[in-house]
């Protein structure tokens, strides 16, 4: 029972780490990559749809993303969706192709992005700590129902704390790598 609880907590913490990795991938470093547009949605026949589901995304060069809509009438809507997103991008259409140039990052913008990265990291740490809290509460319930001994409870809480510390350290490492990546010119 305790082993299942620890395994479940660790799996949830791993998912939090993977979510952080996905969020950090969206923070751009000046080089273009199509993943930046993953969370941008366009109105497609009345329903919000990811751009990747209505257009072909390609890298034209290291600083430009090409978006080729599958339907010509979506060019304006996709361009508007990219411009209105919180990414600070300014797309321009050339016939059927929308070019999305990545502006060079200024020192000020880099510092803003580092703040965003740290905020994402803090959110991941909070999620990991919440998983620890839930696991510990579950252990307390088991102890109260006399399904486990106090020694088992204490050992399990120590193990969960070690798992938590390991994942928080992993978050810190990921943040450090991203911060270094952002500050590199």
Q: Which of 60, 41, 73, 54 is nearest to 100 (CA)?
A: 60
Q: What is the model's pLDDT at position 17?
A: 92
Mean pLDDT by 10 residues, the chain (185 residues): 90 92 76 76 86 88 87 88 82 88 79 86 94 93 89 92 94 91 76
Contact 163, 10 (CB under 8 A): yes
Return the ∠ at Cα 70 (arms to 82 and 77), rounded to 5°: 30
Q: Which of 126, 157, 163, 127 is nearest to 140 (CA)?
A: 157
Where are the domains positioned within the chain? Answer: 2-26+106-183, 34-101
Query: Residue 33, by phi and psi: left (phi above 0), alpha (psi -120 to 50) or beta?
Result: beta
Quote the CA–CA distance of 65 and 178 in Å, as a whole number. 21
Same fold, 2-26+106-183 and 34-101: no
Q: Which of 106, 92, 98 is nearest to 30 (CA)?
A: 106
Quote the CA–CA distance of 173 and 158 in Å, as a whole number. 23
Distances (CA, A) of 145 to 27, 139, 140, 149: 47, 10, 9, 10
Could you say which architecture CATH assigns to the domain 2-26+106-183? Orthogonal Bundle (1.10)
What pairs with residue 48 in β-bridges? 43
Q: Could you tell me which CATH number the domain at 34-101 has?
A: 3.30.1360.40
pTM: 0.66
Q: What is the model's pLDDT at position 29?
A: 64
Q: What is the model's pLDDT at position 181?
A: 82
Quote the CA–CA distance of 123 and 174 in Å, as a whole number. 13
């Amino acid at each position: 029972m305790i082993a299942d609880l620890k395994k479940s907590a660790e799996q949830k913490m791993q998912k939090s780490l993977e979510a952080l990795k996905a969020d950090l991938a969206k923070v751009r470093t000046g080089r273009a990559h199509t993943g930046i547009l993953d969370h941008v949605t366009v109105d497609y026949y009345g329903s919000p749809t990811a751009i990747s589901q209505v257009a072909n995304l390609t890298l034209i060069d290291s600083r430009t993303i090409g978006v080729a809509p599958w339907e010509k009438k979506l060019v304006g809507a996709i361009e508007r969706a990219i411009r209105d997103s919180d990414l600070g991008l300014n797309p321009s259409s050339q016939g059927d192709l929308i070019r999305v140039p990545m502006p060079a990052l200024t020192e000020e913008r880099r510092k803003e992005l580092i703040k965003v990265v740290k905020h994402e990291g803090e959110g991941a740490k909070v999620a990991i700590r919440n998983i620890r809290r839930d696991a510990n509460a579950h252990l307390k319930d088991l102890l109260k129902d006399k399904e486990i001994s106090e020694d088992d409870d204490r050992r399990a809480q120590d193990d969960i704390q070690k798992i938590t510390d390991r994942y928080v350290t992993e978050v810190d490492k990921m943040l450090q790598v991203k911060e270094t990546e952002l500050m590199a010119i």
